[in-house]
Amino acid sequence: MRSALLTSLLIVLFAGAAQAALTEDQRDQLERLQHDCEASALVDCLERGLEQQQLSPAEAVLLFRQACEAGEARACSNLGYMHERGLAVAQDPREAARLYGLGCEGGSANACSNLGFLYQHGVGTPADPAAAVRLYRQGCEAGSARGCSNLGVLTAGGIGTEADLPEAVRLYRQACEGGSGTGCSNLGFLHQRGLAVAQDFTAAAQLYRQGCAAGDPNGCSALGFLHAAGQGVAQDAAEALRLYRFGCENGSGLGCTNLGVLHERGIMVAQNPQAAAELYQRACGLGHANGCTSIGNLQQHGIGMAADPAAAAAHYRLGCEGGNARGCTSLGFLHREGLGVAEDLGEAARLYGLGCRGGDARGCSNLGYLYRAGLGVAQDLEQAARLYGLGCERGDARGCSNLGVLHNSGLGMPKNPAEAARLFRQACAMGHRQACAWAEGAAGE
């Protein structure tokens, strides 16, 4: 019973709602409670705090400090959280890490998971993915759903540990069953993409809905995408729009980016590039790499604002570093042309390579052109053909047409006009106008 009350107190204190100021009588009672803490009646102290339900963040700091010094691991963890976030105390990630460490050593599962997060991101302590893995595992095994979910993320990506998607599935499922909305949403993503599980849009939708209901705004946004596409749920543009808005308003960079796309293209809402730019900027600030790349695209081309290649380059770099392949490719183009950054063909080749390996079709085609022309890399027609082929397979019309040119002219391969014509027709169907003329018999590049 006392454990349940203690847990309830911690929830109350961190619910984020404004607390009413204490009366003088209540302050006197709080003093008595803190005296009880000093007398080692720790649980009684915290249970009486629950009865109060009027503690301000500053008073909570005092209470948690007393409790932590008396050896209550959960109080150390919560005091660490307040230092991490700067709630009623100066923001101090190093002190947060110290307090999480005390809590973790004392058996608080959440303290271990929170400390793992700091090690993962290098906040208040040097970045150490392997230590993050160890701490997340410790938290997960002790009952922290957040620890299981975060461990799943690192396991899926091979960060600090061997990549193991089936194990990530198990961890996400455990997290989801333990009440982690993020765990449910991450498991939904694997079902949506068919990664380590059978592709199942219906299961993905159910998991995203569960994640959304459990408080993960990315789950709401991802469910909105399925409603927009009619995958696993009835196609419902209005519901998709509602979910994107809800997700964005509650901190989902994915929701802000998807909502920005609708405003940029005028889908379901009036076309408004300025609104799109604001949404992409917000998404980027929330750490959504695609949002960074998308605002960069508007800045590069002067859509809804004056063109600013230097600002575009900065946002493409953020997108690329955040794992968005399109951002790498776009930044590579700016380096190739010397727009907003120094012209650097070697750097362009490197960035196109990152984009291509990340799945961006245009990155493969653009790198193929550099190999064809010997720009920034040694000329290699076979490598050019391979990269054009990858770009074509992934949906880039220019990759198809350029590969067709190699077949038509016999560069780096036996001459094959029939295959060239097929590739030109494919590029034509994908919207490459010049390829349409080439398909009719004229060849060139």
Give percent above pLDDT 90 in the chain: 77
Whole-number pLDDT of residue 78 = 83
Asked if residues 36 and 48 have their Cβ atoms less than 8 Å apart, the reply is yes
Confidence (pTM):
0.80
What does the alpha-carbon distance between residue 197 and residue 52 come to, in Å, rounded to a whole number? 48
Q: Determine the Cα angle at 299 with ends 361 and 240, to 5°.
A: 65
Identity of the residue numbered 227? H
Average pLDDT over residues 197-219: 97
Question: In terms of Cα–Cα distance, which of 365, 357, 330 is closest to 445?
Answer: 365
Instruction: Quickly state the pLDDT bin for 223 (edges 50, 70, 90).
Output: very high
What does the alpha-carbon distance between residue 52 and residue 291 come to, in Å, rounded to a whole number? 44
| Domains annotated on the chain, with CATH | 1-12+29-129 (1.25.40.10), 144-239 (1.25.40.10), 252-359 (1.25.40.10)
Tokens of 52: 């109060």
User: Does residue 120 surpass a pLDDT of 80?
Assistant: yes
User: Does residue 27 surpass a pLDDT of 70?
Assistant: no
Whole-number pLDDT of residue 72 = 86
Whole-number pLDDT of residue 55 = 60
What does the alpha-carbon distance between residue 43 and residue 66 come to, in Å, rounded to a whole number? 12
Whole-number pLDDT of residue 54 = 52
Whole-number pLDDT of residue 207 = 98
Whole-number pLDDT of residue 23 = 45
> In the chain, what is the straight-line distance between the N-terminal and C-terminal CA atoms, in Å?
77
Question: In terms of Cα–Cα distance, which of 368, 363, 396 is closest to 380?
Answer: 368
Residue in the structure block whose two tokens are 């220019």:
398
Tokens of 247: 């997700």
Whole-number pLDDT of residue 383 = 97
User: Does residue 425 surpass a pLDDT of 90?
Assistant: yes
Instruction: Quickly state the pLDDT bin for 64 (edges 50, 70, 90).
Output: confident
Asked if residues 372 and 384 have their Cβ atoms less than 8 Å apart, the reply is yes
- Residues 321-349 pLDDT 10s: 999 999 999 999 999 999 999 999 999 99
Q: Which residues contact 257 (CB under 8 A, 6 or more apart)?
A: 279, 280, 283, 288, 290, 291, 294
Whole-number pLDDT of residue 439 = 85
- Residues 126-152 pLDDT 10s: 999 999 999 999 999 999 999 999 999
Whole-number pLDDT of residue 393 = 97
Question: In terms of Cα–Cα distance, which of 309, 368, 358, 354 is closest to 335?
Answer: 309
- Residues 32-47 pLDDT 10s: 444 444 433 434 444 4
- Residues 270-311 pLDDT 10s: 999 999 999 999 999 999 999 999 999 999 999 999 999 999
